[in-house]
Amino acid sequence: MSQNPSFCIDNSAKLLASIFPGENWAWFLSKNLHGLTEGYSTIPFDNSSESVAYDLKALKSFALAYGSGRVTEEQIDQHATSHIDKLEAMYMLNEIEHRHLPTSSRSDNFLSENATEDRDYFSISYGEYWALTELLDEVLNTQEEVAQALVTLGTTFKVFATEGTPTADEIDAIKGVATSHAGRAYNAYEQLAMISQALADEHNYWQEKKIAAKKGGAQ
């Protein structure tokens, strides 16, 4: 078992509810993701995979601050241990730890080996190469940020089920759309990363050939 396991928002809410009953913790955490819980800073979370995840250490730190002397660190540890035991009794702990979206099955080196032997196949200037690399890096960063935002948004809609809000079916539909966008965004991110790496490899390949040719001519 991990020394500091991660929990989805639902199981994080259940842990906090065991320590502080009576609060709608799923809704609290959903608002907290966006900094909408006045008086409480945002609990650190990870939205780099298909769902938001909190690590146990962050939840325990928040619980200690929220309790403000009403509960001790030892009591929080006892609740956390009990919570983990219950989860492990239902399924393996690694099933609740966040998982990354499936990666592309395409080979990292998707350029044809025969094509790379053709000098006319790939030829850009040194300045063009760096300009393109900087552009790709910018796109990659933006794409990742969008994907993470969609994951957070999807998590918010998952627990957005208070009176006067959309129906459960509508919430599920919106969450499905958001999750789908997150999946496409991460797939695009992976493809752009492969393009960036391929361009870098291609540049290095021709640089090495030029160096080798100069050394051969000097002999």
193 in a structural domain: yes
Asked if 210 and 132 sit in the same domain, the reply is yes
Domain around 173: 115-218
Q: Mean pLDDT of all residues in the chain?
A: 76
Condensed to tens digits (0 to 9), the pLDDT of residues 113-147 reads 555 555 545 566 777 777 777 777 877 887 888 88
Residue 191 pLDDT = 76
104 in a structural domain: no
Burial label for 197, CB within 10 Å (0-12, 13-18, 19+), is middle
Residue 93: name the closest of 199, 186, 163, 2 by CA.
2
Maximal CA-CA distance, the chain: 83
160 in a structural domain: yes
Q: What is the pTM of this model?
A: 0.58
For residue 95, the SS3 value is helix
109 in a structural domain: no
Taken as a whole, the chain contains a residue count of 219
